[in-house]
Amino acid sequence: MLAVLKNQGYAKLFSAQMIALLGTGLLTIALGLLAFDIAGSNAGLVLGLALTVKMVAYVAVAPVANALVSHIPRKPVLIGSNIIRGLVALCLPFASEAWQIYVLIFVLQSASATFTPAFQAVIPSILPDERDYTRALSLSRLAYDMESLASPMLAAALLTVTSYHNLFAGTVLGFAASALLVAATRFPAIPPPQKSLFFHRLTGGTRAFWAARELRSLMALNLVVAAISAMVIVNTVVLVKGDLGRSQVDVALLLGAYGAGSMAVALGMPGLLERFEDRSVMLAGAVMMPLLLFVGAAVIGWGEGSGQWAGLLGLWLALGAATATILTPSSRLLRRNSTEQNRPGVFAAQFSLSHACFLLTYPVAGALGASIGLWAAALVLVGIGVVGTVLAFASWRPETVSAHQG
């Protein structure tokens, strides 16, 4: 897998991604501490609203930003997005009111909604060989999982010697270093798309999704991932500390199990996709995710003692693995059903549509978990996941699958 890093252009971009992810991870932790300083016992409300603002920016801004910058070369778009993110991170420590946090987070996440799809869309041009591209997708999945483990540890180490305000400085340095690495990368020559009306550019990615059955299935798979992983992301802390009465360390262990499962599958994904078609791998994950959470609901509702804890660790590990079987190959579908000219729009549409699913399932997971109990909330999310799985199978019939390229 690491052989793909011999491509100097991709190696620089991957390093830029890793550094930016670490900076974002530090920002998340620092933001929570800042919210507590400003709002005290209401910090959870402030942070929750800030995360909602983030998701709204992701859903609403990505297609608009792509339409606005579609005729600009991708390198200055990526550099400019990182500069904006760095400047916002520089301003955040000076926020003294909750509304200031919301405004700054919206600007920062709007820049992220511009950067991420543009970054993802340029990788297929840097790595035109499908095997290399698949290895790059696995590395990218590993980068996201490693960030979720490394950022808290790095933040904990820094907080022993400095104030949390300096975590924002680390974020600024991360975005600056990312911008420099992008600037040092040689991008392939990509002809700009033909001039068209703004509305045509705005809707181009979504229209591409509706036109291709693989991508329509991917929309349904996004719903499966959002429904099932919302239970993990939103309710793990409530499950461990509230229902089970266990420690903060156990919260980290359970989330770590989920990340470990995802990393294990990401490592094996290049070999797996050489033996099986994308359809088989991704739809298998779509079947497994609701099934595993259904078992999890039973363990949450009726399990007890050490057996319950061991069962949850195993289930979270398996859920992480099943999630990666959908997320890791998904960009192969986007690559296969796009051209050099419309690829940024297609990636922006996926970015927006996938986060729209989370905008639905996060509140469902949180509100139902608090009102009807975690096991019942899990069953509702299982139902949403089953709907997504059925739609994915209906959209992605065997005869419509492109010839597998090993």
Chain segment 169-208, per-residue pLDDT in tens: 989 999 999 999 999 998 887 776 666 666 667 777 778 8
Name all domains of the chain by residue range, CATH numbers in brackets: 1-185 (1.20.1250.20), 205-397 (1.20.1250.20)
pLDDT digits (tens, 9 = 90+) for 229-249: 999 888 888 888 888 888 767
Helical H segments across 240-303, by residue range:
248-275, 278-302
Which amino acid is located at 342 in the chain? N
Q: What is the pLDDT of residue 192?
A: 67
* Residue 350 clears pLDDT 50, i.e. is over it: yes
Q: Which of 24-28, 68-72, 136-140, 152-156 has the lowest average pLDDT?
A: 152-156
Q: Both ends of the chain: CA-CA distance in Å?
A: 15
Interatomic CA distance for residues 181 and 187, integer angstroms:
12
Backbone angles phi, psi at 214, to 5 degrees: -60, -45
Interatomic CA distance for residues 316 and 318, integer angstroms:
5
Residue 77: closest CA among 358, 347, 329: 347
* Residue 386 clears pLDDT 90, i.e. is over it: yes
Give, for 61, the enclosing helix (H) or strand (E): helix 43-69
406 pLDDT band, cuts 50/70/90, is very low
Token pair belonging to 45 = 């409300």
Token pair belonging to 405 = 């390229």
Q: Which of 100-104, 235-239, 349-353, 382-386 has the lowest average pLDDT?
A: 235-239
Question: What mean pLDDT is reported for the chain?
Answer: 86
How far is the CA of 274 from the CAs of 130, 270, 277, 287, 401, in angstroms?
Answer: 10, 6, 8, 21, 15
Q: What is the pLDDT of residue 370?
A: 83
Interatomic CA distance for residues 157 and 266, integer angstroms:
28
Helices 343-372 and 213-237, packing angle to 10 deg? 40
* Residue 66 clears pLDDT 90, i.e. is over it: no
389 pLDDT band, cuts 50/70/90, is very high
Which amino acid is located at 222 in the chain? N
Give residue for tokens 């195993």: 314
Asked whether the beta carbons of 205 and 82 are under 8 A apart, the reply is no
Report the largest interatomic distance among the alpha carbons of the chain, rounded to a whole angstrom: 64
* Residue 43 clears pLDDT 80, i.e. is over it: no
Token pair belonging to 281 = 């791998």
pLDDT mean over 288-312: 90
* Residue 68 clears pLDDT 80, i.e. is over it: yes
Residue 50: closest CA among 120, 7, 91, 109: 109
Q: Residue 337 in 3-state DSSP?
A: coil
Token pair belonging to 68 = 């606005």
Q: What is the pLDDT of residue 31?
A: 82
Asked whether the beta carbons of 126 and 188 are under 8 A apart, the reply is yes
Q: What is the pLDDT of residue 304?
A: 75
pLDDT mean over 282-310: 91
Residue-wise DSSP of 103-164: HHHHHHHHHHHHHHHHHHHHHHHH--SHHHHHHHHHHHHHHHHHHHHHHHHHHHHHHTTS-T
Asked whether the beta carbons of 168 and 89 are under 8 A apart, the reply is yes
Cα-Cα-Cα-Cα torsion 167, 171, 173, 179, nearest 10 degrees, comes to: 180
Residue 50: closest CA among 23, 37, 32: 32
Q: What is the pLDDT of residue 399?
A: 56
Q: Which residues contact 32 (CB under 8 A, 6 or more apart)?
A: 43, 47
Q: What is the pLDDT of residue 91?
A: 94
| Residue 143 or residue 320, greater confidence | 320
pLDDT mean over 344-363: 88
What pTM did the predictor assign? 0.83
Residue-wise DSSP of 160-213: TTS-THHHHHHHHHHHHHHHHHHHTS-PPP-PPPPP--HHHHHHHHHHHHHH-H
